[in-house]
Structure 1
């Protein structure tokens, strides 16, 4: 089942259950997927492209969440937390810290990186491996720790 098919089912279910928050998020994700499909001129997006869009939507909400928290907008914080939880249902299972640590160490060895000057090379090799399964800032922090 493609993500779009899953979203259609979730949308119907949310309508029946009168779950306004989930319905809103599902419609928004569905619209983002359809807009990207049109933009790329494709019939259907690949799983990787769908994951990229989901990751982008999740990142936007997490960034906004931090802004709203610092501005003291508790009403918007609660709404965004709900949206983030709904979006995470569609994301792949996140990697544990130990799994991330192992991936970072093996990738550093693969590219023979020895200093912080090669951080870009390491990040470029790691990100496709963990796409959608780990937060980029967390990976960045681990790479810095191992290269310094």
Structure 2
């Protein structure tokens, strides 16, 4: 494991140990699941895990839980819905600070000015610069707004 990858994974592991000492069962289970997914991802990549890889695993976990929130909301299962929302909030604490939407909008406008005339082309130009720092759905929504207003 390299020095940069150790930091976020190590933070997850130390937070899990702290939660275990405080007997916070839900937090211990959530962090254990995320740590297992990170280690599995490391095996998939066949290289030491980096912080970007850990952030990607966390984002996927958040996305799954948000989809579950939608399903539980439609089914009227508020007990499960609240649990998933709490897990999303816990996981979001490990993500890097979000980028200002105005900065994203400026990048989208620049991509459109440079010749990107559909959502896929805009996403292809903007996503690499913000990978791991912003949800693709946010960029997609801004790109759709800007292209519709063009």
Same fold at TM > 0.5: yes
For 1:133, the equivalent position in structure 2 comes to 133
Give the drift of 1:37: 0.9
Q: Separation in 2 of the partners of 1:143 and 1:130?
A: 14
Does the residue aligned with 1:2 lie in a helix, a strand or coil?
helix
For 1:31, the equivalent position in structure 2 comes to 36
**Structure 1: tracts of 5 or more residues without a match:** none
Q: Separation in 2 of the partners of 1:74 and 1:10?
A: 27
For 1:75, the equivalent position in structure 2 comes to 79
Q: Separation in 2 of the partners of 1:13 and 1:26?
A: 11
Q: Separation in 2 of the partners of 1:66 and 1:107?
A: 32
For 1:112, the equivalent position in structure 2 comes to 115
RMSD of Structure 2 on Structure 1 (CA): 1.5
Say if 2:9 and 2:51, in contact at 8 Å, map to a contact too.
Answer: no
For 1:64, the equivalent position in structure 2 comes to 68
Aligned length: 143
Say whether residues 1:7 and 2:12 are aligned partners: yes
Segment drifting more, 74-83 vs 97-106: 97-106
Deviating above 4 A after TM superposition, structure 1's stretches of 4 or more consecutive aligned residues are none
